[in-house]
Structure 1
Amino acid sequence: MDERAALALLEDELDPVGDDAAVVDGLVITTDMLHERTDFPTGTTRYTAGWRAVGASLSDVAAMGAEATAAVAAYAAPEFDGEELLAFVRGARDVCEHVGAKYVGGDLDGHEEFTVATTAVGRTDAPVLRSGANPGDLVCVTGALGRSAAALEQFERATQGEETDADTLESANELFRFEPRIEAGLGLSPHATAMMDSSDGLARSLHQLAAASDCGFAIESDSIPVADALCDVIDDTDTALERATTFGEDFELVATLPEAALEDARSATDVEISVLGTVEDTDAGITIDGETLPDRGYTHGA
């Protein structure tokens, strides 16, 4: 079974499950695992890997509307290279410092494939769950979608030939180092009725929110913010939109909130908030431009 089937199996065994992180007495905790073959394209530096791996867990903290406190990482590789290990730790430390958290260490182990397991913790007394969206709410997203899809395209272009294109590779690594939306999550948290990050893609995130909140969504394609970097590498507008909607791994926040709260939410966040559409009754389904939006996105183990 793939990741989604495994998670569905565990829903009957564990309670509660289904949000981006667990909350225990105000403590937010989440964990992730990334592998070289599936998560780090050829050309990904260890610094970028450290930033991205820890950033993925920090993004889950952001999705709960929590303040980030600290993170750890377990680093496994076939052999330990001193420069690579230091670069990884520096990337992990820098992404934590970027959002006001601390990188406090982890573990080392030998493994046949470079693999990272990360855990991040935060705090909130009022977590934002996936289950509170109401018909009439607005559906919003932070930032722009498609950075990771653009990075993957650049990684492939940079490493295709006999010689590596250093400038393209540097650009790809920069795009891969996304900003966890901790500050945006804190700004949205007093207003959002439901929230999650877009690590599996916008389309799949909407399906997950709809299942948790027992609602539908009506989205307009021309309201979806597509990253300039993706448009730079994909000329066809429809293809770029499809990648921005389904590729995932962007770690933006997808949130619902009352229309009356929109301006307050925007003034409280540090990034652009785009309104994609509205929350509908569950019978309306999930649509884009009036047509059914397929449940497509990133799935580990697929």
Structure 2
Amino acid sequence: MDERAALAAIADRLPATGDDCAVVDGQVITTDMLHEATDFPAGTTRYTAGWRAVGASLSDVASMGAAATAAVAVYAAPEFDPEELSAFLDGAADVCEAADAEYVGGDLDGHDEFTVATTALGETDDPVLRSGATPGDAVCVTGTLGRSGAALRHFERDDVERGNELFRFEPRVAAGRALAEHATAMMDSSDGLARSLHQLAEASDCGMDVETPLPIDESVDAVADDGEDRLELGAFFGEDFELVCTLPEDRIDDARASVDAGLTHIGTVTEGGVTLDGEPLPDRGWTH
């Protein structure tokens, strides 16, 4: 099975697993695992690794419209270098502070590859699920897309300073809380905009009609080879951790005014099919 098939099989046995987070008695909980070989390009600092790993779990909390409360992490490495460990803790603590949460520790383990497993907690009495979109709703996305794809290009070109800078995204917890008052469905874009649209459409049994221009980050322009490559990094690469949501058309202005990260109206919920500029949008993105 691929990752999506495995997740579907788990969901059949464990319905409480929910969407981006499990929901239990007014709390949301999520866990993630990142590996050096697949998630941290050469040149990624331990500070950035701590920020990004914990931030990924906080992004799941954001996507449920919850207030983030705390996060923990398992830090596994071949050896415990004191400077690297300290930098990791600084990054984890700083991203929690940015999300108004607290980093409260975790566990250490020896491992032949640097690996991080993180868990984040949040609180909400009314979580936003993926399954509430209805035809006629607007499709919106926070912030900009493509930063992680641009970061990888910088790492590949040995511009590690810029790569690390772009890799440190801000979890959209505040935006998620604001959007919870308006959104009918929501998730984060960790697997890429295109795949997120397909996942929302599947969960809500509907379609999505999206149009360009998409809010692609200006950092992509510095590394993209052409317009097709620009779209690839912005819509399919993934790992951007923005929020993709649906909401009634008449709530767009109120929602936009409440989201400091910015909110772009990119399309409309339809009866079926996922399209970009009228053409079928491939269901592909980040794959673990």
TM-score, scaled to structure 1 = 0.94
State the SS of the aligned residue for 2:120: strand
Are 2:270 and 1:294 aligned? no
Conservation of the 8 A alpha-carbon contact between 2:16 and 2:23: no
CA distance in 2, matches of 1:2, 1:44: 27
**1:197 maps to which residue?**
188
Instruction: State whether residues 47 and 88 of structure 1, in contact with CA within 8 Å, keep that contact through their aligned partners in structure 2.
Output: yes
Q: How does 1:91-130 map to 2 (within 5 A)?
A: 91-130=91-130
1:239 paired to 2:226: no
State the partner residue of 1:252.
242
* Cα separation, 1, equivalents of 2:138 and 2:49: 35
- Structure 1 residue 18, shift from structure 2 partner: 4.7
| 1:9-88 equivalence runs, <5 A | 9-88=9-88
Kindly state the Cα deviation for residue 299 of structure 1 after the two structures are TM-superposed. Answer: 1.0
Structure 2 counterparts to residues 207-246 of structure 1, below 5 A:
207-222=198-213, 224-246=214-236
- How many residue pairs get matched? 288
Partner of 1:89: 89
Q: 1:17: how far off?
A: 3.6
Give, in whole Å, the separation in 2 of the partners of 1:239 and 1:72. 36
The CA distance in 2 between the partners of 1:149 and 1:189, in whole Å, is 28
Structure 1: 5+ residue runs without aligned partners?
159-167
Aligned to 2:165: 174
Distance 2:18 2:209 in 1: 23
Which secondary structure does the structure 2 equivalent of 1:134 belong to?
Answer: coil
For residues 217-271 of structure 1, give each alpha carbon's deviation from its aligned partner in whole angstroms, at most 9, with x where no partner exists: 111022x111100111114122101221000000000000001111111111111
Deviation digits for residues 158-197 of structure 1 (CA, Å, limit 9, x no counterpart): 1xxxxxxxxx211110100000000110110010000000
Distance in 2 (alpha carbons) for counterparts of 1:201 and 1:270 = 22
Q: Decide which moves more: 110-119 or 235-244.
A: 235-244
Determine if the alignment matches structure 1 residue 280 to structure 2 residue 270.
Answer: yes
Preserved CA contact (<8 Å) 1:151 1:173: yes
CA shift, 1:137, in A, is 0.3
Q: Residues of 2 paired with 1:274 and 1:173: CA distance?
A: 26
Amino acid at match of 1:259: E
Partner SS state of residue 121, structure 2: strand
Between stretches 25-34 and 238-247, larger displacement belongs to 238-247
CA contact (8 A) 2:143 2:261 kept: yes
In structure 2, C-alpha distance between the alignment counterparts of 1:26 and 1:13, rounded to whole Å: 22
Q: Is the 8 A contact 2:17 2:23 kept in 1?
A: no
* Residue type of the alignment partner of 2:12: D
Output the TM-score relative to the length of structure 2. Answer: 0.98
Shift of 1:202: 0.4
Partners of 2:136 and 2:5 in 1: how far apart?
31
User: Match of 2:19, SS?
Assistant: coil
Structure 2 gaps of 5+ residues are: none
In 2, Cα distance between the equivalents of 1:135 and 1:256? 10
Q: Cα distance, 1:16 vs. partner? A: 3.1
CA RMSD of aligned residues (A): 0.8
Residue identity matched to 2:248: P
What secondary structure does 1:23 align onto?
strand
In the aligned structure 2, how far is the partner of 1:25 from the partner of 1:52? Answer: 28
Contact 1:231 1:237 in 2 (8 A): no
Q: Matched residue of 2:182: which SS? A: coil
- For 2:174 and 2:148, locate their aligned partners in 1 and report how far apart those are by CA, in whole Å: 21
Query: Which whole-Å deviations, capped at 9, do the CAs of 1:119-177 have from their partners, x for residues lacking one?
Result: 0001011100000001000000000100000000000001xxxxxxxxx2111101000
Give 4+ residue runs of structure 1 displaced > 2 Å after superposition. none
